[in-house]
Every structure is written in structure tokens, then in C-alpha cells.
Amino acid sequence: MTNIVYLNGDLLAKEDAKVSVLDRGFLFADGIYEVIPVYNDKPFRLEQHLARLQYCLEQVDIDNPHSNIEWKNIINTLIKRNGGGHLSIYLQITRGVSETRNHDKPSDINPTVFLMASELIVDETNISTASAALLEDIRWQFCDIKSISLLGNMLLKNQAKAKGHSEAILHRNGQVTEGSTSNVFIVKHREVFTPPQNNLILGGITRDVIIELAEAAGLKVHQQKITVDELLAADEVWITSSSREISPVTNIDENIINNGNIGPVAKVLHQEFQDFKKSLIL
């Protein structure tokens, strides 16, 4: 039961939550969002999600409508009202409702704040794998902003799906960027590589956790450029995101990775991730 949503200060049933057709989110995709996993009623890495939210709002010049304490209260109330447990919280802020449709940014406008919860399916023992299509990254140059304008990501993901894959791994001129909804890691000779955090990728919260856990486990982690050739020749490839945690990629198009098996480093880090959640009493 995850039917209660938050809209501009009110808690409502999903079907009763209404937004104006003049909302700039609807007309221009003028807004940003966050997705926060919740384990056993507790938001995971909330400080980091709120810091990324602040960064993204600054990038698009929208004032943060709430302090971190207010966000925590809103999120915790929403968790309670939706029955708690394992959830995924979707949080969206748009610039708000303008009087007319005009590209110019209105000066006095209140952001629209919307949050909803959905069930988060977590399997702590089995590792779910992914299959990927390699596609050219056709998105804009500000992929570090978690913009609600996801047309590029959506088209790429659907191209991958049409080819029978669950994710698109993207590259720009032969350099790997990220997945359409995830970050990408490879392993070569038991060392871990992931593309550097810059404007071409979203700085994933899960990416940071995996880097921390890998380093704590004594693995060398390199945040550096990865070519498509290196990707296809890797011993292991994984994607990471809040909903998937860590998911080994068994094949990229017709290229089979690690004979289609889950690699040893992915297995260790999947376990480390579960232990880390437990250590936080999640």
C-alpha cells in the first residue's frame, strides 16, 4: 500500500493529487528529482541524496524550498503513511506554475514539491544480473544534473529493451559514460575502474558507496576514462543504482562477459553492500 503522496505541504491519495497544466515541469521539464531507497523504514544515505538535491537545484537556479530537517520530516512522514518497510521515495521539484507559457524564468514563483513512495523489492541473497546494449550517448552535456527531462535516457533504454536487453550502456566517441539509469564499473585483473565524476555522468550515490566498500575491502579503484574496447575486454562489468544496488552485466550486445557468470569481485561487493546496510541497522 503506497498510495499516499506529498504535494506542496499536503498528504493526499495519489488520485487526488493535482498539478496545474501551466506547471513548468509539465511544459518545459523545468525541474529536478531524487530517488531515495528506504530499508526497514530508514532512508539510505539521506544526507548525500539531499546534498545532490541541493547541488542540482543550484545548477538550475531553483531555491531549495526546504531545509534538510524539513526534508527529513517530510520523508519520514511519507514513509510512515505508506506503511514503512523497504520503499523507494521519488522526490520532484519543479520551478512552479507560471501565468503563461514563456521560456523566460518568472521572478516570483513558488516551486512545486511532489513526493511519492513505491515498493522497493530487495533480494539480499540472490544477485540479479543485467544484459546491456552498447549505444551512443546522445544526451545533453549536463548529465550531472538529475533533471526530470529524461527523454534521452528513456529513448536509449527503450532502444536497449527493443533489442532484448535490460539496460543501455552509453559511450561518447568511444569513451564509456554510464548506463541510461545507472553507473558503470569494470574489473580488470582484480582492479576496479569507473568513469570519472564530471558533467557527463550522474554522480550516483550507489557509485560512491561501492567505491568506498571496494576500497575498504582492499581493492584498487580507479576513477578514470574507460574505452569501449576496455569495457568489452573486461573481466567483470557491473551497473549500480539505488534500485539495483550492484548488478553484474552478463553480456553487452553479443559479447559475453566472464562467460556469462557473476564475477568474484561483484559477489564480494554485493555481500559487503548487504553487510553495510545491516551495520546501519537498515
Backbone conformation region of residue 83, classed left if phi is above 0, alpha if psi is from -120 to 50, else beta: left
Compute the least distance from the CB of residue 16 to ligand PMP, in Å: 28
Tell me how far apart the alpha carbons of residues 191 and 206 are, in angstroms, rounded to a whole number.
Answer: 18
Is 242 a binder of ligand PMP (CB under 6 A)? Answer: yes
- Determine the size of the site formed for ligand PMP (CB under 6 A): 14
How far does CA 242 lie from the centroid of its chain? 6
From the list 34, 167, 178, 236, the catalytic residue is: 178
Compute the least distance from the CB of residue 138 to ligand PMP, in Å: 13
Rule CB under 6 A: choose which of 82, 166, 181, 258 binds ligand PMP.
181
Is 183 a binder of ligand PMP (CB under 6 A)? Answer: yes
Is 137 a binder of ligand PMP (CB under 6 A)? Answer: no
Is 184 a binder of ligand PMP (CB under 6 A)? Answer: no
Buried b / exposed e along 247-281 (16+ C-beta atoms within 10 A): bbbbbbeeeebbeeebbebbeebbebbbebbeeee
Residue 55: active-site member? no
For ligand PMP, the closer CB: 96 or 193: 193
Contact 63, 57 (CB under 8 A): yes
Tell me how far apart the alpha carbons of residues 35 and 225 are, in angstroms, rounded to a whole number.
Answer: 26
Nearest to 116 by CA among 34, 30, 214, 210: 34
Rule CB under 6 A: choose which of 4, 5, 32, 35 binds ligand PMP.
35
Is 241 a binder of ligand PMP (CB under 6 A)? Answer: yes
Rule CB under 6 A: choose which of 206, 247, 250, 258 binds ligand PMP.
206
Residue 202: active-site member? yes
Residue 39: active-site member? no
Judged on CB neighbours under 10 Å (0-12, 13-18, 19+), 27 is: middle
Residue 178: active-site member? yes
Rule CB under 6 A: choose which of 24, 95, 165, 207 binds ligand PMP.
207
Single out the segment in contact with ligand PMP by CB under 6 A; choices: 55-63, 187-195, 236-244, 274-282. Answer: 236-244
| Coarse DSSP helix, strand, coil percentages of the chain, rounded to the nearest 5 percent | 30, 30, 40
Rg (CA), the chain: 19
For ligand PMP, the closer CB: 120 or 257: 120
In the chain, what is the straight-line distance between the N-terminal and C-terminal CA atoms, in Å? 20
Is 129 a binder of ligand PMP (CB under 6 A)? Answer: no
Is 194 a binder of ligand PMP (CB under 6 A)? Answer: no
Nearest to 118 by CA among 18, 11, 38: 38
What positions carry a catalytic annotation? 33, 146, 178, 202
Interacting residue ranges for ligand PMP, rule: CB under 6 A: 35, 153, 178, 181-183, 202, 204-207, 240-242
